[in-house]
Amino acid sequence: MNIKRISIPIMFLAGFLLFWEWLRPLGEVTDTGSMYVFVVYTAICFLASYFIKNGFARFFVKIAALILALDYLFFDPLLLSSSWVQQLYLELSLNFEVIEQNNWVMMTSFFRSLLFMIVLWLMSYLLHYWFTVANKFFLFVVLTFIYLAILDTFTAYDAQFAMVRTFIISFVMLGLSRYLKLIERTGRSGTRRNLFQWLALVAGIITFATLAGIYLPKLDPQWPDPVPFIQSNADHIGFGTGGTVQKVGYGEDDSQLGGSFVQDDSSVFEAIAHDDVYWRIESKDVYTGSGWERSADLNYEMLEDGVMDFETFSMFRVETDPYTATIRPDVQNALPRIVYPYGGDQLSTNNPTNFYMDKQFGIIEAETGEQNQSTSYSVDYEAPSYSINALREDPGNDEAEIRDQYLQLPDELPERVGELAEEITVEADNRYDRAKAVEGYFGANGFRYQTTDVSIPEEGEDYVDQFLFETQVGYCDNFSTSMVVLLRSLDIPARWVKGFTGGTMATEQPPLPDEYSLYEITNNNAHSWVEVYFPETGWVAFEPTSGFANPTDFYYEAADADNDSDEAQETETDPTENQEEPEEETEEEEETDDNAASGVSDNQDHWNGWPYVWTGLGVVLLILGLIAYLKRRNIQHWYVQRKWHRLLKNQEVESAYMYLLKVLAFRGYKLGKGQTLRQYAKKMDEHFDTTEMSEITDIYEGYVYYKQNANQAELKRLQQLFKQLGSRIFT
């Protein structure tokens, strides 16, 4: 029986399954659709490479599969009809023209898929050669592990099971490859029984290693994982779609909050404004226990003449001052949406642009999209000032639709959250004072603003509950979400709002009207805050994040000014107060605060994870010992080859030959008493069914007895002969 005929198809199938692991993540980490078509096409290419020996027939099968796949994905006319050919010609001519103009982003999906399939075609050929002809696939195995590890770490793709599959496939391939090499070196013909015994050994090792990896105790992560930043913040605070900012900044996906992120001072836009106001973008209303979502799809309506017709507060009950702000988006980091201050009334721009707005969540986009995202625009707005007296006297008779939409809480919210809300507001008798009590609770109780080492709730753990009762460390999302949930548990409608803080005043100010300034807003100014609903006033902004000042202007009416002057001084906020995020704490202060927040005392320096470490080291040493035992002959062969090569490199032919005799003696083939070297060499050749020992002895005797200097050709020949002989000695 030809064992190679059985082993090679298994190797080739394993190669295809390994390459499949490269294709699986594409549907999740890219916008590639219909992945099953590409997998089937790849399988056809692999099968054609293996079974079809004629080059022309193999080419025909692969090109036919490519055409059928493209026809299935992109073509409506009948295959190979005149309309089909015309559409193909138009696609190809358009894309070649795009290539000539170096305008790669305009390449159509058809042409991208065509190029991708050509790559799959080439890979099927290369892998067929590596796996079945050259029998060299170790590098591809290593690259597969690296590829999966990178995707698992830096994308949303979960490669846990992919790693297990790859490990199993790779070990089977390595085992079969080793078996084939042993058969080839020894010159023996393997039997079906030998093959099955070898596969049983490989299966046993795979099973042991897999079970050990799954069930042995594991240490918790010992350093910050980049996944929280990539998943929670690059998607959640970075652009979700259409943008170029991928660190901190505004983003659309807030469904999974938590985790650390990296500060980014890249400029997003400049604003000429009367004050460093908060720049609003949108609100969200559904809290899921792990993040925020919208209760309805976006419904954009065109703004006639740029009139926003969107009021967060009642213009009739709130005092306002008219201003105009000019926003200049950064060309490199243009926002996909329009920013505007509270009281926004009308948008205008020098370019003909239509603005569209979803009036439920307050999102505005420009019709021109990506092409004119860097176009400057102006916003006329009425800056509000709220009477504290009126807010305290607001009866709180909320409309039914407001209660239905903005009192939602998940059923799994722990009861202690509501109990804490009651405790915080026990002395307040009106909605305004309750909101202020919750707003001030965090800063008065040691909650700390921090962007690094921020926890992500585990499965089944509530995001707000974890922040309020366990970590008490986080950034704006933690504070603002917690305030909304606490207020809603008190039956106070509240919603979560996103945008940017006012930024910093530019060092160099252009000539501007009095009391106007140029502000620079960066990704670091991306922020979230809270709006609380007052039926007679509207939505009022509150700022719960520690270290940030509420930009909302509150005032007492004149009748109560004398009685409440002290309270007014504490409550009123200077709208020009700097709202930059607090400076990063020093490493020493942060470490001290972390210990205090986690309840770790200074005396508790010992670490209780050593049993896991020793257990893990023991298992690793056991596995290494097992591998060393199984590979002992390979290790001996490598060492002997290395020493032989070194001796010959120094032209020490005599020492090299004596070392060869020593190795043979160690393996049980001693030079007999009175036996000549030629007799001994002939005996070794008969035993190993070879002629290498006699050739090595001839070169040695010529060097020693006849004083012939070994030239480079002879030294190279000695290396080759010893390599061949060594393979037989250590088999």
The reported pLDDT for the residue numbered 419 is: 94
> C-alpha distances in angstroms, 163 versus 160, 221, 258, 324?
5, 18, 26, 57
CA distance 247 to 234: 5
Q: How confident is the model over 690-717, as pLDDT tens digits?
A: 888 888 888 777 777 655 556 667 777 7
Indicate the length of the chain as a whole number. Answer: 731
- Among 122-136, 214-228, 276-290, the range with the most confident prediction by mean pLDDT is 276-290
pLDDT bin (cut points 50, 70, 90) of residue 719 is: confident
pLDDT bin (cut points 50, 70, 90) of residue 392 is: very high
pLDDT bin (cut points 50, 70, 90) of residue 637 is: low
Cα-based angle 409, 411, 417 (whole degrees, multiple of 5): 65
Q: How confident is the model over 331-360, as pLDDT tens digits?
A: 777 777 899 999 999 999 887 788 899 999
Q: How confident is the model over 2-15, as pLDDT tens digits?
A: 556 666 777 778 88
pLDDT above 90 for 598? no
CA distance 423 to 420: 5
By C-alpha distance, which of 482, 504, 566, 102 is closest to 292?
Answer: 482
* DSSP H/E element including 419: helix 415-424
Q: What percent of the chain has pLDDT over 90?
A: 24
CA distance 670 to 664: 6
User: 685 by DSSP, 3-state: which?
Assistant: helix
Count CB atoms within 10 A of the CB of residue 399.
11
The reported pLDDT for the residue numbered 72 is: 87
The reported pLDDT for the residue numbered 431 is: 94
The reported pLDDT for the residue numbered 382 is: 92
Q: How large is the average pLDDT for residues 437-458?
A: 88
The reported pLDDT for the residue numbered 316 is: 81
pLDDT bin (cut points 50, 70, 90) of residue 612 is: low
pLDDT above 50 for 604? no
Q: How confident is the model over 16-54, as pLDDT tens digits?
A: 888 888 888 887 777 677 788 888 988 898 888 888 888
User: 552 by DSSP, 3-state: which?
Assistant: coil
The reported pLDDT for the residue numbered 601 is: 40
**Beta carbons of 255 and 291 less than 8 angstroms apart:** yes
Q: How confident is the model over 51-68, as pLDDT tens digits?
A: 888 888 888 998 999 999
DSSP code at position 134:
S
SS in 3 state form for 267-303? EEEEEEECCCCCEEEEEECEECCCCEECCCCCCCEEC
pTM of the model: 0.50
Could you give the dihedral angle defined by the CA atoms of residues 181, 185, 187 and 188, in that order, rounded to the nearest 10 degrees? -50
Backbone angles phi, psi at 385, to 5 degrees: -130, 125
The reported pLDDT for the residue numbered 244 is: 31
**Beta carbons of 555 and 568 less than 8 angstroms apart:** yes
* DSSP H/E element including 49: helix 35-51
Q: Tell how many helices (H) and how many strands (E) occur in the chain.
A: 24, 18
